[in-house]
Amino acid sequence: MKIVYSEDHRKHFPPFEVFDGGKRMRYHENPDRMDKILAALKKTDWAEFIAPSDFRLDPVLAVHDKDYIAFLASAWTEWLDSDPEVATSPEENAFLPASFALRRKSRVPGTLLGKGGYYMMDLSACIVEGTYTAALTSANCALSAAESVTNERLSAFALCRPPGHHAGKDYAGGYCFINNAAVAANWLSSRGKTAILDIDYHAGNGTQDIFYERNDVLTISIHGDPDFDYPHFIGYADETGADDGLGFHKNFPLPKNTNDEGYLSILDEALVLIRNFAPQYLVLSAGMDIFDGDPLGAFKITHEGFTEIGRRIAAPGIPTAIIMEGGYANEALGINTINLLESFK
């Protein structure tokens, strides 16, 4: 199996995040996540590592607002220029807004901090010097996996960091800046009918946002009920698409403590929808935070559960671009990733 990976992900490593209730703490989405997965993949006899190609900005701008991407590209340098104290110790700082756009219709402010509150959804999408480079490379990893899928008709794994599925058309959030899965799926959709299945613990709000009014890409998300967990405001069962996209989006919000049996039952329902849609390509947003013991999840999926999830998704034989999303029980990331991927190789 082709594994698309770049060391550029290490350029994005904020020194902290502001967590629930305002706690300042170590950044959960850190380079150690990739190291654990890489170590496990290198022990297999089927992982073929390749570097991502540079697809430039066009595929990114096909799903994201150009002014939002320009904000990501310039935010850090603008902040350094505007605050001399930050420039003296940049390694201790991360750019975050202090205010956020209200629910009523908002306009883009002219100031950097105002733009931050407009283009950023929360306090986990911290921007540091290398964030934009890492996010763009992560998108190129996803696109390279998609290209491999179309060329070889086999599945490929994009080892993306930062992840992407919380990034919407014009906002960052949940450790995500560019929606890697959406960029890959949109690119694939011009080459054949495409579906996205998101199995991350948290609802794929950004992916839903991007495709919600489209009928050429089926989007499905299985996740913890947003009534009690992040992202809180999107991911409910009655959100099924709008306009041309009505009926082409499906959320499966699940209760706390969902175990292997309960999860696999819902996965089977999702796979029926995918089979009926009959896509030529599948994009799998692969979040490992459904694991029992993940610090940011509340499901009870076991190592064996990941094996069966992978087996059922791979069974129809649809060429699949597997895109790494969340997963923060770092010591378990390697085995869970391998267990998921084994059926696709």
Sign of the alpha-carbon dihedral angle for 234, 236, 238, 239: positive
Residue 22 pLDDT > 90 = no
> Where residue 23 falls among pLDDT bands split at 50, 70, 90?
confident
Residues 6+ apart with CB under 8 A from 276: none
* Minimum mean pLDDT range among 2-11, 27-36, 102-111, 239-248: 102-111
| DSSP SS3 for 107 | coil
Q: What ranges do the domains of the chain cover?
A: 2-56+134-344
| DSSP SS3 for 44 | coil
Residue 287 pLDDT > 90 = yes
| Pair of tokens at residue 320 | 């699949």
Q: What is the pLDDT of residue 122?
A: 94
Query: In this structure, which CATH number among 3.40.800.20, 1.20.120.550, 3.40.50.720, 3.40.50.1970 belongs to the domain 2-56+134-344?
Result: 3.40.800.20
- For the purposes of burial, counting CB atoms within 10 Å of the CB of 170, is it exposed (0-12), middle (13-18) or buried (19 or more)? middle
Q: What is the pTM of this model?
A: 0.97
Considering only CA atoms, which of 163, 74, 67 is closest in space to residue 118? Answer: 67
Per residue in 46-70, pLDDT tens?
999 999 999 999 999 999 999 999 9
Considering only CA atoms, which of 130, 128, 116, 198 is closest in space to residue 164? Answer: 198
Under 8 Å between Cβ of 128 and 29: no
Q: What is the pLDDT of residue 258?
A: 98
- In angstroms, the CA 21 to CA 61 distance is 34
Under 8 Å between Cβ of 329 and 37: no
Q: What is the pLDDT of residue 80?
A: 92
Q: What is the pLDDT of residue 101?
A: 87
Q: What is the pLDDT of residue 26?
A: 94
Q: What is the pLDDT of residue 282?
A: 98
Q: Which of 166, 202, 223, 249 is catalytic?
A: 166
The DSSP output letter for 69 is H
Under 8 Å between Cβ of 98 and 65: no
- In angstroms, the CA 264 to CA 35 distance is 29
| Pair of tokens at residue 336 | 């869970």
Residue 104 pLDDT > 80 = no
| Pair of tokens at residue 208 | 């839903």
User: What are the CA-CA distances from residue 192 to residues 53, 149, 232, 343 (Å)?
Assistant: 21, 12, 33, 23
Under 8 Å between Cβ of 152 and 164: no
Active site residue 165: no
* Residue in the block written with tokens 């995918």: 274
Per residue in 132-156, pLDDT tens?
999 999 999 999 999 999 999 999 9
Q: What is the pLDDT of residue 106?
A: 82
Per residue in 157-176, pLDDT tens?
999 999 999 999 999 999 99
**Is the model more confident about 90 or about 95?**
95
Segment 85-97 shows an average pLDDT of 88
Residue 217 pLDDT > 90 = yes
Q: What is the pLDDT of residue 72?
A: 98
Q: What angle do CA 71, 73, 78 make, to 5 degrees?
A: 70
- State what percent of residues in the chain have pLDDT above 90: 91
- In angstroms, the CA 25 to CA 17 distance is 6
Per residue in 290-323, pLDDT tens?
999 999 999 999 999 999 999 999 999 999 999 9
Residue 212 CA, distance from chain mean position? 17
